[in-house]
């Protein structure tokens, strides 16, 4: 059960991954969250990553690969994991192939218009990282997380000028991974038809794609 989620920022991969992971009883590992946690704790990794993240750029491969390799060595990853936001470059994908076998790569295929619209209305919990969207996935209590009642904030990299830069970075450095995994025969596309698709509908499409993949693999 080693799955990865590819897709531009705001494609819904984080929300879908967090809903799919419990089904397989494996951890959902989001490298962006690992960095945010490191920044909060003011660790050396956090200090190095902060500037890149604020500018909407990728953190250098050697930092992210080391951090991820340590994370997937932990006991809770024995039966697998779901990676969200890793790999994001070809060298990261090559390194991942050396240390682990991936069974499916889910590619969240979403237009720029939807991404921009979603990221501009996204808020996240300052405490637990749960994602909400003021257009679709609305928190029950204004400004508070449904899960832990932490304060909801806008991520600094969800400001409009940073969003465009993150999209450009995705196209240049991450989108070549679609061909990389297609060539390996493990790519499954999940298309998001419009901005009104709910998180539940997105997660359902992902489940269907995984089921289809598992049936084909038999």
Query: Which residues are known catalytic residues?
Result: 13, 88, 122, 155, 166
DSSP 31-94: HHHHHHHHHHTT-HHHHHHHHHHHHTPPPPHHHHHHHHHHHHTSGGGTT-EEEES---SHHHHH
Asked if 188 and 209 touch (Cβ cutoff 8 Å), the reply is yes
| Contacting range for ligand AMP; rule: CB under 6 A; set: 58-66, 108-116, 193-201, 208-216 | 58-66
SS3 content of the chain, % helix, strand, coil (to 5): 50, 15, 35
Place of tokens 């991954």: 17
Among positions 90-119, residues that touch ligand AMP (CB under 6 A) are 92
The contacts of residue 145 (CB under 8 Å, 6+ apart) are 125, 127, 128, 130, 132, 139, 151, 152
Task: Kindly state whether residue 85 participates in binding ligand AMP, applying the rule CB under 6 A.
Answer: yes
The single residue among 166, 181, 187, 209 that binds ligand AMP, judged by CB under 6 A, is 166
Residue window 130-159: x/- pattern of binding to ligand AMP, with contact defined by CB under 6 A? ---------------------------x--
| Contacting range for ligand AMP; rule: CB under 6 A; set: 37-45, 81-89, 103-111, 179-187 | 81-89
Please report how close the Cβ of residue 202 comes to ligand AMP at its closest, in angstroms.
16
Q: What does the binding site for ligand AMP look like in residue numbers (CB under 6 A)? A: 9, 31-32, 35, 52-53, 56-59, 64, 85-88, 92, 157, 166
């Amino acid at each position: 059960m080693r799955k990865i989620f590819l897709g531009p920022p705001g494609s819904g991969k984080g929300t879908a991954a967090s809903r799919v992971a419990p089904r397989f009883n494996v951890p959902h590992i989001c490298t962006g969250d690992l960095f945010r946690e490191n920044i909060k704790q003011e660790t050396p990794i956090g200090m190095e990553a902060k500037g890149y993240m604020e500018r909407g750029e990728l953190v250098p491969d050697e930092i992210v690969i080391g951090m991820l390799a340590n994370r997937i060595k932990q006991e809770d990853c024995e039966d697998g994991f779901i990676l969200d936001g890793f790999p994001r470059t070809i060298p990261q994908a090559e390194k991942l192939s050396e240390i682990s076998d991936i069974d499916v790569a889910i590619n969240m295929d979403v237009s720029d218009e939807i991404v921009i619209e979603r990221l501009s209305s996204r808020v996240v919990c300052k405490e637990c990282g749960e994602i909400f969207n003021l257009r679709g996935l609305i928190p029950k209590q204004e400004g508070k997380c449904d899960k832990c009642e932490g304060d909801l904030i806008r991520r600094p990299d969800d400001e409009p000028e940073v969003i465009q830069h993150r999209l450009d970075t995705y196209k240049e450095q991450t989108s070549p991974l679609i061909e990389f995994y297609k060539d390996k025969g493990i790519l499954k596309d999940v298309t998001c038809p419009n901005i009104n698709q709910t998180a539940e509908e997105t997660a359902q499409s992902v489940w269907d794609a995984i089921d289809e993949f598992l049936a084909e693999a038999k």
